[in-house]
Amino acid sequence: MKFIQDRITKAEQHFGTLCQEFAGFSRKTAKLRDKGDELAKALLTYAEAEGQSLKSGVTGFAETISAIQDYRQAEVQRLDAKVVQPLTLYGNTCKHAKEDLKKSQTARGKEQQQQQRLEKARQKNPSDRHTIAESELQRAAVDATRSDRALEEQMDNFERQKMEDIKKILCDFVHVEMVFHCKALELYTVAHQYLQGINDEDDLEEFRNSMRPPSAPARLDLVRANSKTSLSSTARQTPGAERRATAFSKPQEQEETDEDEEETEDEDEDEEDEEDDRHYRR
């Protein structure tokens, strides 16, 4: 009985410890998932301040890291369902085993009590009491034997079930971890490819172009463009100037025309005077 009781007590203690450790492992994995999400956000923020090639590569890398955390979330859920929960429920199994042991101990205690009663009856040596005590002792012995056999069978099942359960729990743990790490390895490969696709020279050239002032030929082209713009603006203003020049030139042309007409009239008068003189002389 002492051996069986020790086995049940140790199983309960060890399974309780394993439950706490696996639960802690699951919580740590959940915290790692949260840190992975924070890392992905920080990478996306950083990518916005970089060149086009580096921005594209780091963005893809961050999105892949975030996808890994989705698989890590599935890992946490599977650990809780397939590892932590069965270990938590195993306390009830140990409790039932203790109850079975207690029943067997009770039956054996009754047998011992009947044995003591029989000894007392024999000492007093009354025939009827002796016979009654022997019959009660036989019944108690039968009950104790039956209880012992049941306890042995139950403890055998308990040990077998315990080994099968711990084996299944640990195999499920390994399977959950293998699935996660296989998926994570695939995604980390994709993340590495994103980093390899970054073109350092393109981003460096973009940085140099942003840092340098416009070159001399470029500045000359800029000046020429500004000059052409000024000439075009002046040309658009010319019609008004022509109208003003035309307005000023008209009076001068009118004066010249009047002078020409006066000279013509004077010449005509002179010719008439000459004709009159010739006629008078005749």
Nearest C-alpha neighbor of 72 from the set 106, 107, 100, 35: 35
Q: Could you say which residues of the chain have pLDDT below 50?
A: 216, 238, 241-251, 280-282
Cβ contact 163:26 at 8 Å: no
Q: For residue 56, what pLDDT is reported?
A: 92
User: What was the pLDDT predicted at 216?
Assistant: 47
User: How confident is the model at residue 248, as a pLDDT?
Assistant: 44
3-state secondary structure of 50: coil
* The pLDDT of residue 49: 87
Distance from C-alpha of 257 to C-alpha of 223, rounded to nearest angstrom: 49
Tell me if 82 sits within 8 A of 176, measured CB to CB.
yes
Q: For 159-214, what is each residue's pLDDT tens digit?
A: 888 899 999 999 999 999 999 999 999 999 999 999 999 887 877 887 788 877 65
Maximum pairwise Cα distance, the chain: 219
User: How far is CA 22 from its chain centroid?
Assistant: 24
8-state DSSP, 212: S
Nearest to 58 by CA among 185, 195, 192: 195
Q: Are 191 and 61 in contact (CB under 8 A)?
A: yes
Return the CATH number of the domain spanning residue range 2-211.
1.20.1270.60
Residue 74 burial (CB count, 10 A): 15
CA distance 111 to 142: 9
pLDDT for 274: 58
Looking at residue 51, its pLDDT comes to: 84
Residues with Cβ within 8 Å of residue 70, at least 6 apart in sequence:
none
Cα distance between residue 77 and residue 134, in whole Å: 61
CA within 13 Å, CB half, 96: 10
CA distance 65 to 188: 8
The C-alpha angle 150, 151, 153, rounded to 5 degrees, equals 65
Residue type, 197: G
What pLDDT does residue 266 have?
58
Q: Which pLDDT score is estimated for 193?
A: 95
Distance in Å from the first CA to the final CA of the chain: 188
Q: Which of 199, 248, 234 is nearest to 55 (CA)?
A: 199
